Amino acid sequence: MSEKTVLSVKGMTCASCAQGITRHLNKKGFSDVHVFYETGQVEVDDLPLESLNKVITEINSLGYKAATQEEGHELKGTWSVLKIKFGIAALFTLPLLIPMFVHLPVLHQPFVQFILSIPVVIIGILHFGKSAWGSLKNGIPNMDVLISIGSLTAFIYSVAGWMMSLNNEASMHYLFFETSATIITLVLMGNLIEENSLKKTTSALEMLTAIQPQKANRIVDALTEKERIVEITIDLLNPNDLVIIRTGERIPADGTVYEGTAIIDEASMTGESLPVEKNINDKVMAGTIVEDGHIKIFVEKTGSQTILSSMIELVKRSVLHKPSIQRLGDKISAVFVPVVILISIVTFLLSYFIFNITLPQSIMHSIAVLVISCPCAMGLATPTAVSVSIGRAAKNGILIKGGDTLERLSETQTIVFDKTGTLTTGKFAIKSINYIGEKEIADYLLATLEQYSNHPIANAINQHYKNYSELKPAVILNEIKEEKGKGVTAIDKDGTKYILGSYKSINRPDLESGHQVYLIKGEELIATIDIEDEIREDAAELIAWIKTKKIKPIMLSGDSLARCKEVAEMIGIEEYYGEQLPTDKTKFIEEKSKSSKVTMVGDGINDAAALSLSNVGIAMGTGAVIAMETSDIVLINERHFTSLKEAFRIAELTIKTIKQNLFWAFFYNVIAIPIAGIGLLSPMIASLSMAFSDVIVIGNSLRLKIKR
């Protein structure tokens, strides 16, 4: 993945501004450009200084102010500037509105109204005019064009009417200074409300950024007499560093516990409300808090490689991959402004020349059409909903890579599961021990010999004999040795040889196959063990839930067909396939995808190709790194199936919310434009309702934060 440079941009007042910047930079040859309207940032490839300066110049030529983040152009100051602009505009607009309610002769004077409106118009030109002119030069007119034309038309017409009728009392009928000022003031107010609301849609991003530790206590010269603790910034941490974390501190990097025991709060990362105990060899994540105890960890991933950094990046970039439903809105928005200007002109011509409406009123109808027709709600309909949803998912341990993933997940018709590590825990357990010889000797040998192996099956046997110390020694062993891939051998004081291993490693044709472990004394078989991997306790419940969603579950595994059949029957899956190689899984997904929208759930290296080929790939966070990298969704919460169901619910609710937002945006314009055109909406009311249409869309998206 190439490095990125992030620029801070001031002056973006709507989502269509972001679209305009993107298209302009694309025209200038900068193809990999991502504009984040919500955070006021533009992300480009890591470019040479000369090219980067050109990008900044091009953005500034559109009427915005761009700079590198290092130069101090932080977004935080933008809101206070907007508040100042709104405050000044409101201060001068209020006296212009007073004559509508109270008869004050001085405020009816054209010169006084002109003087009061000048500061507001200047603010409007500086705030909206630059962006409008830049978008016109770019050939992609934005919402600011409509606001600028509407307010300036009212102001210029008022000045012209006043100048031409200085000695005529009728001049009052040509004064619309209050209309010009009110349009600007109300739209500024709408921008202010909109941006305050947008802050809430990115609260998940702020929360995740806030829990990122800035310092770490690195152990220098570990395990020597010179061992000491040095506090460093996290950017100086490297893999294999040894770090100590005490009670109340946040873990600075992803790693493995080397020493100590601690109770860790992982709620911010996984959504798990109960703290978890971590012991030696357990994995820990950056950003989580040590509630009690202290541990030393070996650092494995630092900086941008940690799960926390991945979550921040995914939430930030979530709106880049647009659902197809948004692309429809983008296409309409791109041609919307020119169409509205045309409708406004037609409205004036019809009003004045066909319906014989007075010139002032014809102009007001035309201006009302311009102001009411805000395409901004269309631009906000999808990214606000996606941002809230992916943020909520991230806080619950579900990493979703882009808004289009949510749309594709909601379309799922078939869901294919890997077995081992997905439907099962990946941990082995003893199903049965079959004694052929003396039970006491067999138990002692099984418990003793497997203490010398770290094989997963050995761990299952050791777990079965966890009270090993209570067993009476049945034989005295002089030599015990593990041979990788062959099992464990031992010799007792009388020279008798014992072998504990698989059917293949023992290589005795006279033995009955079908068991996982065999115990041999000399030439005599004294015990066999049948092993099974544990089925996740909520697997059957998940499959039943999936069926209620009219989604077909299928199991696809590399395990034996017999074991696949056993697991499938236990959890309620009717269609299953065993003994599948990675290439077989890939071919199956390719073939199935021709007739169905397929979601694949897996965790292993052998699932990576199938995950990448499926419509949506979902990886267990405890699985192989490559499986997580090739998937579209990663479930890092240990309650994987709860997270899986929640991912489906979030996808369903998000698409429903986007459709509601787009309906409102389209419906609003379809209804509002004709009403404004026939003169039932004044420009002032139009500007107020336009501002609140954006707020309604954002508010509807924010419901996703609390919706169950």
Query: Hey, which residues are catalytic here?
Result: 418
- How buried is 176 (Cβ within 10 angstroms: 0-12 exposed, 13-18 middle, 19+ buried)? buried
CA distance 529 to 425: 20
Place of tokens 């991912």: 647
CA–CA distance, 109 with 628 (Å, rounded to integer): 70
**What angle do the packed helices 376-395 and 324-349 form, to 10 degrees?**
160
- The strand order across the sheet containing 517-521 reads 424-435, 524-535, 517-521, 497-501, 487-492, 477-483
- CA 332 to CA 202: how far, in whole Å? 26
Side chain identity, residue 424: T
**Per the structure block, which two tokens stand in for 575?**
């269609």
The DSSP result for 236-295, as a single string, is: G--TT-EEEE-TTPBP-SEEEEEEEEEEEE-HHHH---S-EEE-TT-EE-TT-EEEEEEE
Q: Distance between CA atoms of 16 and 146, rounded to whole angstroms?
A: 12
Q: What angle do CA 254, 255, 257 make, to 5 degrees?
A: 140
Q: HSE on the CB side for 177, CA within 13 Å?
A: 30
Per-residue tokens: 227: 């061992």
* Residue 526 contacts residue 520 (beta carbons within 8 Å): yes
Hunting for tokens 């479930």 — which residue is that? 635
Handedness of CA 517, 521, 522, 523 (dihedral sign): negative
Count the Cβ atoms, other than its own, within 10 Å of residue 235. Answer: 9
What's the CA gap between 676 and 157, in Å, rounded? 19
Structural contact between residues 626 and 608, judged by C-beta atoms closer than 8 angstroms: yes
How far apart CA 326 and CA 35 sit, in angstroms, is 16
Place of tokens 């169950």: 708
**In this structure, what token pair is assigned to residue 363?**
């102009």
Coil, helix or strand at residue 232: strand
Residues 68 and 8: their CA atoms lie apart, in Å, by 6
Report d(CA 326, CA 310) in Å as an integer: 25
Query: How many other C-beta atoms are found inside a 10 Å radius of the C-beta of residue 212?
Result: 17
DSSP string, 59-120: HHHTT-EEEEGGGT--THHHHHHHHHHHHHHHHHHHHHHGGGTS--GGGG-HHHHHHHHHHH
C-alpha distances out from residue 261 to 222, 247, 297, Å: 19, 11, 11
Give the Cα separation of 607 and 276 in Å (integer).
Answer: 29
| Chain position carrying tokens 């992300």 | 43
Both structure tokens of 543: 């499959």
Pairing, β 289-301 against β 254-265: antiparallel
